[in-house]
A = this chain, B = another copy of it.
């Protein structure tokens, strides 16, 4: 009987998630459990909703958490808003675009996939040209495509969707809390985020928000389950949502004033999300975006000064993820292995066509700190020098420091 005590090695998680949680969040999770309908717990849930609205920059009443990781939140909103047979356009510019189609195919949607070379984003005209053909119920799109580090501009897309009366459902799993996202102003109808990236809580909860257009669809698909339904409960006209656990209609009743029993809310993750959002409120949204942006600028300046090449269309790069082409003279597993095992720093590989070609560096949430950027650049330099890769020694950290000095 030799099972280990939880005692994680020291790690700096400079990958695109999961990243380190704010220590205040970790501390909040060790608070004792409250009953799921204890008035104090319901109070925390209501505050979480209010703070999440501020972070999504929305007034959507339907703003709450799903007790899954981000992927489950995506499926919940997509399969709640999209009925079998609905036509959905998915502009895919990386792995997670394909995930959206993978989820929607299973629920019987008719998918049209627009594809783009990994490392680029779509021009609004490309998407409009397809929507013009007519009949689309929705566009589903990734905001920050972590697999390629690209970020699709959203403002124009919202206008186009409105013009063609298509819902816009956006995955902001990798960007919410690190990048300015304006759900209402940009015309996003449904939006999903995770907690383990720029929100800086552990993985295990998904933040979602959607407007009345989607809410009306959900109501028309609602069916209160046997064992708790009452006489006044009437079934809707549209096909029932395929999953019981990921059923937006039931989740609305759980989070809404009726507090109708569904799952048992994950108490400690709820504490974590509440505290993580509170940390964001304390910092201020703009201050938080500026912090991520400055650290990104320093990181990129450092990498380029070192002589490394940043992958993809830099103009549309996410400020919270940077990918570099793996330089000649070293391979990905060696680079990542030495950073992890010698320096305790985690960076990531990518998927599919980019696996082994790029290294992805995160700059997310609590990990987006000046000291982390400088330590990462120093360690990266050391690993490359140790492997006799040709770089401009000392220039990386120096360039980053200069960015910080000029920012004062």
A: residues with CB less than 8 A from B are: 1, 3-11, 13, 15, 17-21, 26-36, 38, 40-41, 43-44, 47, 50-51, 67-72, 75, 94-96, 98-99, 101-103, 106-107, 147, 194, 196, 202-204, 225-228, 240-246, 261-269, 271-272, 274-275, 277-278, 281-282, 340, 346, 351-352
A6 in contact with B44 (CB, 8 Å): yes
A31 in contact with B38 (CB, 8 Å): no
Q: How far is the CB of A276 from chain B (nearest CB, A)?
A: 11
Q: How far is the CB of A99 from chain B (nearest CB, A)?
A: 7
Q: How far is the CA of A246 from the CA of B74 in the complex (A)?
A: 12
Residues on the B chain within 8 Å of A227, using CB: 94-96, 98-99, 102, 147, 351-352
A26 in contact with B26 (CB, 8 Å): no
Interface residues of A, dominant DSSP: loop
Query: Which residue in chain B gives the minimum CB-CB distance to A281?
Result: B1
Q: How far is the CA of A107 from the CA of B108 in the complex (A)?
A: 13
Q: What are 6 A-to-B residue pairs whose CB atoms are below 8 Å?
A: A7-B31, A8-B32, A18-B33, A19-B33, A75-B244, A242-B242
Q: How many copies does the complex hold?
A: 2
Task: Name the contact of A242 in the complex, choosing from B40, B96, B106, B196 (C-beta under 8 A).
Answer: B106
A102 in contact with B38 (CB, 8 Å): no
Q: How far is the CA of A5 from the CA of B28 in the complex (A)?
A: 8
Q: How far is the CA of A106 from the CA of B4 in the complex (A)?
A: 41
Q: How far is the CA of A47 from the CA of B21 in the complex (A)?
A: 24
Residues on the B chain within 8 Å of A72, using CB: 67-68, 72, 245-246, 263
Which of A7, A47, A244, A281 neighbours the largest number of chain B CB atoms within 10 Å of its CB?
A: A244
Q: How far is the CA of A341 from the CA of B228 in the complex (A)?
A: 26
B262 in contact with A71 (CB, 8 Å): yes
Q: How far is the CA of A125 from the CA of B241 in the complex (A)?
A: 36
Residues on the B chain within 8 Å of A32, using CB: 8, 10-11, 20-21, 26
| Given A6-B274, A268-B268, residue A30 in contact with residue B33 (CB < 8 A) | no
